[in-house]
Amino acid sequence: MSTLPHTAPPKISRIRPLHELRKLPDDAIINITEASFLLGKHPETIRRWRKLSVGPRHLKHPIYPKHVEYLIGDVRDWIMERFSPPGGNPPSLWGRSIPKSSTPFHHNP
């Protein structure tokens, strides 16, 4: 009887479009690439934040501890906590569309 070797989960190279991410419920799991897209930062920046305990709360895979995921609700909450004006309403980030010319890691000065 042979057993299958344990392999890491497949890497997701595709980023779901913003309109799909916006529709996800708060308990939906997203990968680091999608989290970095929503946060407007490079994935390495998100990894560094995680090591410094600065970024949004993350989840470690129970079998593959190096595989990190995020609940989209935690990413949304983290953004709202940092970008809401004092005593004001949070910005309407989830209703705003991103121009087609924008890329996840493109910085517009």
CATH number at residue 68: 1.10.1660
- Decide if 6 is inside a domain: no
- Decide if 107 is inside a domain: no
In this prediction, residues 82-99 reach a mean pLDDT of 56
- Decide if 98 is inside a domain: no
- Decide if 62 is inside a domain: yes
Q: Number of folded domains in the chain?
A: 1
Round to whole Å and give the CA distance between 25 and 53: 24
More confident residue, 49 or 63: 49
pLDDT, residue 13, reads: 54
Range of the domain at 48: 18-83
pLDDT, residue 100, reads: 41
At residue 2, φ and ψ (nearest 5 deg) are: -105, 150
pLDDT, residue 15, reads: 81
pLDDT, residue 71, reads: 94
- Decide if 79 is inside a domain: yes
- Decide if 43 is inside a domain: yes
Cross-strand partners of 59: 69
Round to whole Å and give the CA distance between 18 and 37: 9
pLDDT, one tens digit per residue, over 16-54 is 888 899 899 999 999 999 999 999 999 999 999 999 999
- Does residue 103 surpass a pLDDT of 60? no
- Decide if 72 is inside a domain: yes
pLDDT, residue 67, reads: 84
- Decide if 77 is inside a domain: yes
In this prediction, residues 61-90 reach a mean pLDDT of 81
